[in-house]
Chains A and B, each alone.
Chain A
């Protein structure tokens, strides 16, 4: 009984503190997901336009971002960018977090959007162009609506990865969930296991609905109307 009382006491004390951290995690991840998705969508569409130099440029961008750990990218944005002596690159930690995480997100979204567009059968594009649609009209009315449906399930997985990646931000002093947990552990070092479990549960409550949505979206949008024989 005493054990439970003790643990309940920790929960009671730490919850507001951890919720603060979760709120920061939420803010940063939402902003990064938003801007990362916008950028990724634009780059993904551009990548499919078959303009050779543009495609090479985007691929280089993707390789750089996907071929290096997020932690290194974060350090570069936060510690290296200011050394360029360009005033607007002198980010505070929150901006550095959002910028680096947005770029990281965009690299995944670009690939998802581009491969979804490529997965729309060429006949769809031919049928659009042969009735006289411009390339832009074919994208707008036929190709993108079909491609975007296919992106929903993989997009949700990326969003969960991004949410979990915010844990790394503790290294530049952002008081997100993991950081708050670590501070709490300094106060109550004897309960390290319990507090980390608590943090994990908080992450779970954020990520689980996203994954559930992904699962739902997969059955709802994954195949409807798209007959990929």
Chain B
């Protein structure tokens, strides 16, 4: 048996939207797992439940039934210290969500001192290292509003990495970026993957999926329709819906 980092068991989630008579089935009995060091890319049309699935992995999204385990610890168990668990799971958002009232540097320092109780000096040293690592060593003093989307996303990635996470979750991390800055952020993500980080990535970047993923999961209508290695998935999709989807986007 392989070494599972994330275990997803029969997860269901239904939204009740006022404008629609029928409740929306966002996650329909999803079962899967992600191994330690594995990079899994989740793709699918919008509204297919991929973001919901990703956000349920760190409990940001509550689920109706089923169970999720991160490194053996249940996300859904009421007795779990969810804050401790979340500190070990990095999350990168589509809209970066940097703390607007803090500089880039302070964005990376704050969670370390508040959550991990690291000393200010240690947190600052780590923040400096990470600003270097994400390629913006000189921009630490800038407020988020003074940075481009790509730069903000680099800061957001650095902020997550500062927590020394076991897993990184990327929720359409490049969807809100200008085309010319997408490449740099993807490059950074590829680097993380190469370093052996366990990653779950929701994205529309098929190039990234093909190159960096160990496995591709295709979702539609809240269910996993197909999963395969990227080469197999892109060259020889099995299901009709995956074939349709790939025809439309490629």
Give which listed residue, B84, B101, B114, contacts A145 with CB less than 8 A.
B101
Interface size class of A (residues with CB under 8 A): 20 to 34
Give which listed residue, A130, A133, A149, contacts B60 with CB less than 8 A.
A130
Which of B91-99, B204-212, B214-222, B232-240 contacts its partner?
A: B91-99
Main secondary structure of the interface of B (DSSP, over half): mixed
* B83 touches A (CB below 8 Å): yes
Contacts of B163 in A (CB 8 A): 131-132
Q: How far is the CA of A126 from the CA of B171 in the complex (A)?
A: 12
CB distance A142 to B60 under 8 Å? no
Q: How far is the CA of A75 from the CA of B114 in the complex (A)?
A: 48
Contacts of B143 in A (CB 8 A): 224-225
Q: How far is the CA of A128 from the CA of B58 in the complex (A)?
A: 13
Contacts of B159 in A (CB 8 A): 131
CB distance A225 to B97 under 8 Å? no
Contacts of B58 in A (CB 8 A): 130
Given A127-B93, A225-B145, A227-B145; A132-B100 close (CB under 8 Å): no
Give which listed residue, B85, B101, B115, contacts A137 with CB less than 8 A.
B115
* A146 touches B (CB below 8 Å): yes
- Count A-B contacts at CB 8 Å: 76
A-B contact pairs, 28 of them (CB 8 A): A123-B93, A123-B95, A124-B97, A124-B99, A127-B91, A127-B97, A127-B156, A129-B60, A130-B58, A131-B90, A131-B91, A131-B163, A132-B84, A132-B87, A133-B111, A133-B114, A137-B114, A137-B115, A141-B99, A141-B110, A142-B99, A142-B110, A145-B101, A146-B99, A146-B101, A225-B102, A225-B143, A227-B100
**Which residues of A approach B to under 8 Å, CB–CB?**
121, 123-124, 126-134, 137, 141-142, 145-146, 149, 224-227
**Which residues of B approach A to under 8 Å, CB–CB?**
58, 60, 83-91, 93, 95-102, 110-111, 114-115, 143-145, 156, 159-160, 163
Q: 10 tightest A-B contacts by CB? A: A132-B87, A127-B97, A123-B97, A227-B145, A131-B111, A130-B91, A132-B86, A132-B115, A225-B101, A132-B83
Question: A137-B114, A146-B99 are known contacts; what are 9 more A-B pairs with Cβ within 8 Å?
Answer: A123-B93, A131-B111, A131-B115, A132-B88, A132-B111, A133-B114, A146-B101, A224-B143, A225-B144
